Amino acid sequence: MRNLWIFISKYNNFFLFILFFGISFILVIRNNSFQRASTINSSNAFIGSIYQRIDNFTQYLNLKETNRYLSEENAFLRSQLKTSKYNTLVEQDSVLDTLGQTQYTYIVARIISNSVHQKNNYITINRGSEQGVKKGMGVISSHGIVGIVLNVSPHFATIQSLLHADSRISASLVGSNAFGSLVWGTENYEANKAVLRDIPNHVKVKPGEEVVTSGFSLFPPGVSIGKVIKSGKSGDSFLDIEVQLNNDFNTLQYVYIIEDKFADEKQKLEGDTLINE
C-alpha cells in the first residue's frame, strides 16, 4: 500500500491531467450538439467493431440454430410472394403492392449485440449507411416487429428495441380492425409481452385474436405482432389489451430493415400540411 501511495504522489500531475481532461471532454459533449452527435457515431462504430469480432468467434457455435432460422426465413418469404418468381439475392428482397409497384424493400442484417433485461433495450446490427440503412427505419424479423433504427454508422446501426419504454407502434386487431398503440411496459417488463392501448371499450376482444401492424406508421400493414392474452378497462372509454409477442427476443439472430419507397414523399406532404394550419 505504501508503494502505491508513493507511485501516486510521484505521478500526481499526470493523474490530475487525466481527471481534468476527462471532465472537460464530458462537458464539451454534453453542451454541444455537434460534438455529442460526432461522439455517438464514433463510439457506435468502435463498439460495433468490437461486437463484430466477438460475434465472429461465437457464431460458429450456433450454426445449427442459424440454419434452422434461415430455413424458416426462406419459407416465410416464399409464402408472402404473390407469384412463383423469387429473388435469389440473399441480401435483399421485395414485397409488391396491389399494383405491382415496389414499395417496400428489405435489407437483411445479423444481430451482433442484443439486450432484453433492461427497462430500455437496444440491438446492434452489422449493417449501416453504406448498405442503405437510415435512422428511423422500421425493423422486423420473420416472426414480427423488432424495433426502429436509432443511430447509424457506415457499417453498423443500433436499434431501439420494441422492448423499450419509449417504443410506440401503431397496431390493430385482426377481428375488428380497431387500432391503437402497442407499448412495452407490463408490470414486470417481460421480454415476451406488450400492451395494446387506446382500443375503444365497446370493441369485443377475444383471447388468441391476432394483433398486426396497422400500416399507419413505419411498418407495412398486416405484419404479425402477436396474439391477445387478455383485456381490461383503462378508464371509462378504452381497453388495455395484454399481447403475447411472436418474437423471442432472447434468440433473435437475423432481422429485416424496412425501406419505404414513398416515406420521403409522405413526410413532406404531412410537413406541408402542418405548416399550412
Statement to judge: residues 50 and 137 lie in one domain: no
Mean pLDDT of the chain: 78
The rounded Cα 52 to chain-centroid distance in angstroms is 18
The CATH code of the domain that includes 128 is 2.40.10.340
- Alpha-carbon separation of residue 214 from 102, 116, 163, 174 (angstroms): 19, 25, 19, 9
Statement to judge: residues 32 and 88 lie in one domain: no
Confidence of residue 273 (pLDDT cuts 50, 70, 90): confident
Statement to judge: residues 121 and 253 lie in one domain: yes
Statement to judge: residues 89 and 182 lie in one domain: yes
Statement to judge: residues 77 and 183 lie in one domain: yes
- Residue 137 exposed, middle or buried by CB count within 10 Å (0-12, 13-18, 19+): buried
- Residue 256 exposed, middle or buried by CB count within 10 Å (0-12, 13-18, 19+): buried
Cβ–Cβ < 8 Å for 245, 226: yes
Cβ–Cβ < 8 Å for 255, 146: yes
Return the closest-CA partner of residue 214 out of 250, 174, 252.
Answer: 174
Residues forming beta bridges with residue 157, ordered by sequence position: 125, 152
200 within a domain of the structure (yes/no): yes
115 within a domain of the structure (yes/no): yes
Statement to judge: residues 89 and 210 lie in one domain: yes
Residues forming beta bridges with residue 194, ordered by sequence position: 243
Residue-wise pLDDT tens digits, 105-114: 888 888 999 9
Residue-wise pLDDT tens digits, 198-252: 898 888 888 999 999 988 878 888 888 999 998 877 666 888 899 999 998 988 8
Statement to judge: residues 242 and 218 lie in one domain: yes
183 within a domain of the structure (yes/no): yes
39 within a domain of the structure (yes/no): yes
- DSSP conformational letter for 269: H
More confident residue, 164 or 93: 164
Statement to judge: residues 117 and 48 lie in one domain: no
Structural domain total, the chain: 2
Q: Domain of 46?
A: 16-54
Return the closest-CA partner of residue 257 out of 219, 224, 222.
Answer: 219
Statement to judge: residues 22 and 128 lie in one domain: no
Q: Which residue has the cell 434452422?
A: 68
Confidence of residue 88 (pLDDT cuts 50, 70, 90): very low
Cβ–Cβ < 8 Å for 191, 163: yes
271 within a domain of the structure (yes/no): no
191 within a domain of the structure (yes/no): yes
CA dihedral 116, 147, 168, 153 (to 10 degrees): 110
> What b/e readout covers 9-31, taking b as 16+ CB neighbours within 10 angstroms?
eeeeeeeeeeeeeeeeeeeeeee
Confidence of residue 28 (pLDDT cuts 50, 70, 90): low
Angle of helix 12-31 versus helix 33-58 axis, rounded to 10: 110
Statement to judge: residues 154 and 256 lie in one domain: yes
4 within a domain of the structure (yes/no): no
Statement to judge: residues 41 and 72 lie in one domain: no
Statement to judge: residues 146 and 34 lie in one domain: no
Answer whether residue 4 shows pLDDT above 70: no
Give whichever of 8-17, 51-60, 90-99, 118-127 has the largest mean pLDDT. Answer: 118-127
6 within a domain of the structure (yes/no): no
